Amino acid sequence: MRSKHAIETALDVINNKYDMDIPFAKTEGIPNMKGAKLQIIWGDSQASPEVGKTEAERLITQEKVPLLLGLTRAA
């Protein structure tokens, strides 16, 4: 899944310091949030609206995530 790999790469660039001329690469973490590091907590809807709803509720209530991002699998 290319989207997952792209997100993991972006997270690595944001959370660590790299000598690259792209946003967030030259610092560690989010500069305006005192260098806070980002973390991904994955969920899987298994292409089912009911499972997706349950996963979203779990991520919000149990994992306390501040942001949900939905990805679709390519056919």
Give the per-residue pLDDT at 48: 93
| 30 shares a domain with 47 | no
Please check whether residues 33 and 51 belong to one and the same domain.
no
What tens-digit pLDDT sequence spans the chain (75 residues)?
A: 788 899 999 999 999 999 999 999 999 999 999 999 999 999 999 999 999 999 999 999 999 999 998 887 655
Residues 33 and 64 in one domain: no
Same domain, 47 and 17: no
Q: What is the pLDDT of residue 74?
A: 59
Domain count, the chain: 2
Instruction: Please indicate, yes or no, whether residues 31 and 50 belong to a single structural domain of this protein.
Output: no
Predicted local distance difference test score (pLDDT) of residue 54: 96
Give the C-alpha separation, 63 to 21, whole Å.
33
Residue 54's alpha-carbon distances to 14, 16, 59, in angstroms, are 29, 33, 9
Residues 36 and 47 reside in one and the same domain: no
Identify whether residues 53 and 67 lie together within a single domain: yes
Residue range(s) defining the domain that contains residue 70: 43-75
Model pLDDT, residue 5 = 92
